[in-house]
A and B are shown apart, each in its own frame.
Chain A
């Protein structure tokens, strides 16, 4: 089980008690997202839509690299890894 950091944009900080990030314990990205759902319900609403999919204009990055929009990735996590909730930018 790895201890990883999940960081959020400024707009979503009040969804995790005013912090810029939270620590999650998980072995894979999918497990980290499951932890996010169970431990941070306010943030969950902003990351996932009603179908349980990552919102259309949100993506997740692992150590700075996009994971695409899939919420069920099996990428393994190591201590110190960083996940970011990122707003997908399109257009000017």
Chain B
């Protein structure tokens, strides 16, 4: 019997919340004082927590725990640009495990790193960093960040990554070559002049049952692709706003978003904490917020702060910029607030572990 484990990265440390079927048990702060901008559980045989730890003074590295957070070890082989590359590693945005166990991390300045030894050492996927469009890449408000990595579970040679405020890229050959995939996406005014660049992708997700269907929350709308990102079209009917950050695909044609008022006013419309769900692949969206607070909540949900339960398509969890964490286990029909009041939530991932 497995238990649900939520890993929550915040601006001032990491927290865990574990549900044994009767209630939540929480731990933390782990790594207090560090900005835990990415936090995940990897490895089947020997589970290991990996935390992307960032500090505006001391920079960014990755730390690991083999005892579910009781003790941590900084990894000497953390992502690092080689001398002379001319890039600086400012933040670890995401750590993702492919089905084979290979790990990828996306960082600021925009680059992808790969690890084949459970995170002990990382090497830069230079073919992406050196993409011919690189001279035109411009940062978004959150920096020039590679924040989303999606691996095709059926063929790991195929991957997508998203960079703000640049666009989406796909590789079909395991990262040897990358193609820009922004057809149909609106540009944002970065001042850049690149053709097809200046697309500020906020988050991207692969439909669990279709290796060609992706959903995207973009700076300028919510989009879908039916051809593995070769082209995108808007899917916004029913949303109060097309601006937001996270998007999570939970089942065939089912996804969740957390719309904000607007780019200029990055909080929930009218201060009402609401999430929206589609069950028809984005053709229409409905408010799916029963159980969320009715009192004003002028909060945001950041791009990495919403996750799905890997074992239960009804499980979705998110944290807010004011430190609350909410979850549903019935596909959004009802939500509960977890017994935590945390620093600003940057990252939420959900896992299953042995009881």
Q: Which residues of A contact B (CB under 8 A)?
A: 10-12, 14-15, 41-42, 45-47, 49-50, 55, 57-58, 87-88
Contacts and interface: CB of A to CB of B under 8 A. Distances in A.
Given A47-B58, A50-B83, A55-B58, 11 more contacts: A10-B33, A11-B33, A42-B74, A42-B76, A46-B58, A50-B85, A50-B89, A55-B57, A58-B57, A58-B58, A87-B57
A57 B57 CA distance: 5
Contact of B88 (A10, A14, A50): A50
Interface in B67-81: 72-74, 76, 78, 80-81
Nearest to B61: A45
Contact of B74 (A10, A15, A87): A15
Contacts of A55: 57-59
Contacts of B76: 41-42
A45 B88 contact: no
A57 B55 CA distance: 11
Given A14-B72, A42-B76, A49 B88 contact: yes
Interface of B: 33-34, 55-59, 61, 63, 72-74, 76, 78, 80-81, 83, 85, 87-89
Contact of A46 (B59, B85, B87): B59
Contacts of A87: 57-58
A45 B59 contact: yes
Contact of B55 (A11, A14, A42, A47): A11
Contacts of A10: 33
A58 B57 CA distance: 7
- The 8 A-B pairs at the shortest CB distance, nearest first, are namely A46-B58, A57-B57, A87-B57, A50-B88, A11-B33, A42-B74, A14-B74, A50-B81
Contacts of A15: 74
Contacts of B57: 55, 57-58, 87-88
Nearest to A18: B71
12 contacts: A11-B33, A11-B55, A15-B74, A42-B61, A45-B59, A46-B55, A46-B59, A46-B61, A49-B59, A50-B87, A50-B89, A57-B57
Contacts of B88: 49-50
Contacts of B80: 45, 50
Nearest to B84: A50
A45 B73 contact: no
A45 B33 contact: no
Nearest to B58: A46
Contacts of A46: 55, 58-59, 61
